[in-house]
Structures are given as structure tokens and as C-alpha cells.
Amino acid sequence: MRSFSVLLAVAAALIQQTTAPRPVSPALQAILEEFSVPFEPFHFAGNVYYVGTKELGSFLIVTPAGNILLDSGMEQTVPLIRASVEKLGFGFSDIKILINSHAHFDHAAGDREIRDATGARVMIMAQDADDIRQGHPDFPLGWKPCPVDRVLHDGDAVTLGSTTLTAHLTPGHTKGCTTWTTQVSDGGKSRHVVFLGGFTINEGVQLLNTPDYPNMASDFARTFKVLEHLPCDIFGAQHSYFFDMQKKVAHLNDPGRNPFVDPAGYRKVVAEAERAYRKQLAEERSKPRR
């Protein structure tokens, strides 16, 4: 797990525990700086482009009828996403649909800014929809309330032009965490693409005896079953390190291959997360209850 995972867990805890704004501590400032480092946008596969930061994954799916944006990042990184979209030659206002991996500040806090700037329809899994609608006032770790134009359910399709993405409910990281799948034409072949939602446990989070999420452990178990059965040739994720983005980008110009075609890498990262889940669950169950 990345060194900033502890800081991210602290940030998530602050959001859950208070509605009052807090000053930005050095630890929180480190999170913001880590997540706000620009990254050169690039062609990911087929009609999909990477427009996120160095650490926060955002993907632009381009269609003749307009474009879909997956994950808005933080409010502070929206200008970076816009710059990346425009650097690739696409119009920011051509974003017609905005979808999320899950309702955490580093993936959904830019929703309202992007909706206001583009008029995009915001589509959110039902279990996360209220969090997006209500927002959270604890800037810079919260987010502005954002209308939800379509509430999604497990298996729903989001279609624009000739592109369809399928929303898979993969809860645990949040109650409405969503993994998205689609198919693209890449290198003359049809490829299955998986955009992993949050599928790991932030440090400090308890699987058991969490009052506001009593079925977290069973939700994670469901998620790993779903992920294990998804066909995958190419995968991305809400954090770039999960799919070795920087390492793979270095090979983008290698002839005859797309380095993001990595079904074995997908299986490995899912298996590692499931092992960590099972280990933590066993440890929690072995501890005497107070």
C-alpha cells in the first residue's frame, strides 16, 4: 500500500466525524499535494483517454455523440482535468455524462464543478447517490452538493453514441462503489476493459463492528466474487498505482503492443486485495469483543 494510505485514512475519518471545517494540517496538505501533481494525458485504449493526475485516475471516453468522464477528482484538480482534455484536442463542454467510481473526496469532489461547467448529466450508483447530492462542507476534504440526474443500479447500462458502459455494484470501499466495464477496439481486436472502483480497505477502517456500515465485510466478499468473474483484457483504476500506470506509459510507443493489455495484472491486483481482506477479517474475528 502506498505511503499516503495512512493519511488518506485520516482524511476519510475526518470527513465522517465532523461537519465543521478544519484547518489544513501538514498531513492533509500532503494528501492534496500528492493528488494534485499533473500528468501528461495519453491514449489509453480504443476510444478511452487518461486525463487524471499522477495519482488520481480520471478517464475520458470519447464518442461521436459527446464524451463521458469517469471520476472528477478533487475540486482542486478539475482545472488539471480540463487542461488534459483540451490538450488532447477535445472540448471540455463536450462532456455529456459524468460517472464516478465512488463517493470519496478524491474521486467525486469535482462533480459539481464539472456539472456546472459542462452541463453533463451526473449518474451515480444508488447507494452513493445521497452522499453526492448532500455533499460535505469540510473543505478541502469534502465536496459541494451536486444534483444526481440518474440513479444507477447494479447492471445498469450507460450509453452514449455507440459506446456502452456497464455499472457493477462492488461495495465495501463505499456502499455504492462502482466498477465499470466496456469493450473497445484496440489493435484491431475487441478488448474487455475494466475500470476498478475502490476495492481495498483504507488503513484504520474496521470490517466488523462499524455502526454506520454493519455489512461491510459481506459487501467486500461480494465484490471480490464479482471482480473475479469479470472478463478483463485492459484495466484501469481510481488510483494510478493499482494498474502500474507510470511503468506502462513508458512503453506506450513500443511497436505492436499496448502495455495496458494486462489480464494477468488485473487478476494479480484483485487477488492481492482479496488476500489482504481475508487476513484483516480473520484478525478482527480473532480479537475478543469488548
Q: pLDDT for 147-172, tens place per residue?
A: 999 999 999 999 999 999 999 999 99
Beta bridge partners of 235: 194
Poorest-confidence range of 16-20, 103-107, 165-169?
16-20
Identify the three-state secondary structure at position 98. Answer: strand
C-alpha cell at 218: 459481506
Return mean pLDDT, the chain.
92
CA angle 219, 220, 223 (to 5 degrees): 90
**pLDDT reading at 10 higher than 90:** no
Give the chain's length.
Answer: 290
- DSSP type of residue 15: H
**Of residues 282, 10, 275, 283, the one with CA closest to residue 138:** 10
- Sheet containing strand 59-63, edge to edge, reads 42-45, 48-50, 59-63, 66-70, 95-99, 121-125, 150-152
Q: pLDDT over 90 for what percent of the chain?
A: 83
Q: What are phi and psi of 166, to 5 degrees?
A: -110, 135
C-alpha cell at 72: 472528477
pLDDT grade, residue 141 (50/70/90)? confident
**Of residues 97, 157, 107, the one with CA closest to residue 128:** 107
- DSSP type of residue 126: H
C-alpha cell at 272: 492481492
Contact partners, residue 132, CB within 8 Å, separation at least 6: 100, 103, 108, 111, 122, 124, 143, 145, 146, 148
Distance CA 131, CA 53 (A): 23
pLDDT for residue 96: 98
Identify the three-state secondary structure at position 44. Answer: strand
Rounded (10°) angle between helices 216-229 and 263-286: 160
Identify the three-state secondary structure at position 248. Answer: helix
Under 8 Å between Cβ of 98 and 114: yes
* Average pLDDT value for residue range 218-246: 98
Contact partners, residue 283, CB within 8 Å, separation at least 6: none
pLDDT for residue 28: 82
pLDDT digits (tens, 9 = 90+) for 44-74: 999 999 999 999 999 999 999 999 999 999 9
* Average pLDDT value for residue range 119-134: 98
pLDDT for residue 4: 43
pLDDT grade, residue 11 (50/70/90)? low
Q: For the chain, list the domains and their CATH numbers.
A: 5-23+38-285 (3.60.15.10)
- DSSP type of residue 288: P
pLDDT grade, residue 31 (50/70/90)? confident
**What is the end-to-end Cα distance of the chain in Å, rounded?**
29
